Structure 1
Amino acid sequence: MRGTSQRARLLLVTRNLPPLQGGMERLNWHLLQQLQRTTDVQAVGPHGSARLALPGPEVREVPLRPLWRFLLAAFWHCLALGLRRRPNLYLAGSGLTAPHAWLVSRVFNGRSAAYLHGLDITVDNAVYRRLWLPFLRRLDVVIVNSSATAALAVDAGIAPAKIHRVHPGVALPLVPDPARRAADGKAFRAQHALGEGPLLLSVGRLTPRKGLLEFVRDALPAILQAHPNAALVVIGGAASQALGSEMLTPDQILAAASPSMAPRIHFIGEVSDEALSVAMHCAAVHVFPVRSQRSDPEGFGMVAIEAAAHGLPTVAYASGGVVDAVAAGISGALVAPGDSAALAEAVIEMIHRPLPSVPMRAFASAFDWDAFGRQVRDVLGVAERTAP
Structure 2
Amino acid sequence: MFDQDTKPELARVLSYLSYNLDTFILQSFLYYCIQMNKKILIITRNLPPLVGGMERLNWHIADELSKQNQVSIISHTAAKKLASQNVNFYGVPLSPLPLFLILSFIRAFWICLTQPVDTLFAGSGLTAPIVVILAKIFRKQSVVYIHGLDIGTNNKIYNLCWVPLIRHADQIIANSSPTYELCLKKNIAQSKLSIIHPGVTYPPKPRNENLLQNIKTKYQLHDKKILISVGRLTERKGMNEFIDQCFSRVVNTLPNTVLIIIGDTPNQSLNKNLQSKELILSTAEKHNLTDRIIFTGNIQDDDVLASFYYLADLHVFPVKHIPHDPEGFGMVAIEAAAHGTPTVAFATGGIIDAVKSNYSGFLIKPNNYNQFTDTIINVLQTQNISAQDCQQYAAQFSWQSLNQKLEQAMK
The TM tier, using the shorter chain, reads: over 0.9
User: What residue in structure 1 maps to residue 377 of structure 2?
Assistant: 348
Q: Which residue of 1 aligns with 2:14?
A: none
Q: Deviations over 1:225-260 (max 9, x none)?
A: 110110111010012111123221122112223342
Indicate which of 187, 201, 204 corresponds to 2:214.
187
Q: Report SS of the residue matched to 1:266.
A: strand
- Following superposition, the deviation at residue 31 of structure 1 comes to 0.5
Q: Which residue of 1 aligns with 2:391?
A: 361
Tell me the residue number matched to 1:310. Answer: 339
Deviation of 1:195 after TM superposition, in Å, equals 5.0
In structure 2, the partner of 1:246 is 273
List aligned pairs for 1:132-147, cutoff 5 A. 132-147=162-177
Cα distance between partner residues in 2 of 1:159 and 1:192? 51
Q: Distance in 1 between matches of 2:403 and 2:175?
A: 13
Query: 1:250, 1:324 → 2: CA distance?
Result: 29
Match among 85, 95, 102 for residue 72 of structure 1: 102
Q: Is the 8 A contact 1:86 1:108 kept in 2?
A: no
Match of 2:288 in 1: 260
Tell me the TM-score normalized by structure 1. 0.94
Q: Are 1:157 and 2:184 matched, yes or no?
A: no
Per-residue deviation, 1:99: 0.4
- 1:270 matched to which residue of 2? 298
| Residue-pair matches, total | 377
Give the letter aligned to residue 50 of structure 1.
Answer: K
Question: 1:40: which partner in 2?
Answer: 70
2:146 maps to a residue whose letter is: L
User: Counterpart of 1:283?
Assistant: 312
Structure with more contact order per residue of length (Cα contacts < 8 Å, sep ≥ 6) = 1
| Aligned equivalents of 2:125, 2:362: Cα separation in 1 | 31
Please point out which of 125, 139, 162 is paired with 1:109. Answer: 139
Q: Which has the higher helix share?
A: 2
Tell me the distance in 1 between the aligned counterparts of 2:164 and 2:158: 10
Instruction: Describe the SS at the equivalent of 2:278.
Output: helix
Corresponding residue of 2:245: 218
**Alpha-carbon shift at residue 37 of structure 1 (Å):** 2.3
Q: Distance in 1 between matches of 2:89 and 2:206?
A: 34
Once residues 369 and 56 of structure 1 are traced to their aligned partners in structure 2, the CA distance between those partners, rounded to angstroms, is: 16
- The answer for the alignment partner of 2:50 in structure 1 is 20
Q: Does 1:330 align with 2:362?
A: no
RMSD: 1.4
Verify the 8 A CA contact 2:211 2:304 in the aligned structure 1.
Answer: no
For residue 377 of structure 1, what is the aligned residue in structure 2?
407
1:202: which partner in 2?
Answer: 229
1:90-140 Cα shifts (integer Å, max 9, x gaps): 110000000000000011111111001111112232211111110111111
Secondary structure of residue in 1 paired with 2:42: strand
More deviation, 95-104/352-361:
352-361
Please tell me whether Structure 1 or Structure 2 has the larger radius of gyration of its CA atoms. 2
Structure 1 residue 57 corresponds to structure 2 residue 87: yes
The 3-state SS of whatever aligns with 1:233 is strand
Secondary structure of 1:199 counterpart: strand
Q: Distance in 2 between matches of 1:193 and 1:363?
A: 31
Query: 8 Å contact 1:146–1:299 — kept in the other structure?
Result: yes
Moved more, 79-88 or 313-322: 79-88
C-alpha contact 2:265 2:277 (8 A) present in aligned 1:
no
Are the aligned partners of 2:51 and 2:232 in contact in 1 as well (CA < 8 Å)? no
The more displaced of 258-267 and 368-377 is 258-267
1:175 to 198, 206, 226: 206
Identity of aligned residues (%): 36
Q: Distance in 1 between matches of 2:291 and 2:270?
A: 32
Cα distance in 1, alignment partners of residues 242 and 356 from structure 2: 21
**Residues of 2 paired with 1:231 and 1:55: CA distance?**
40
Q: Secondary structure at 2:242's aligned position in 1?
A: helix
Moved more, 6-15 or 241-250: 241-250
- The equivalent position to 1:124 in structure 2, one of 154, 174, 199, is 154
Give the deviation of 1:188 after TM superposition.
Answer: 1.2
User: Tell me, what secondary structure is at the counterpart of 1:256?
Assistant: helix
Match of residue 117, structure 2, among 40, 64, 87: 87
Runs (5+) with no aligned partner, structure 2: 1-22
Partner of 2:323: 294
How far did 1:73 drift? 0.1
Q: How many Å separate the matches in 1 of 2:187 and 2:176?
A: 17
Moved over 4 A (4+): none
SS of 2:187's equivalent in the other structure is coil
Deviates more, 1:315-324 or 1:167-176: 167-176
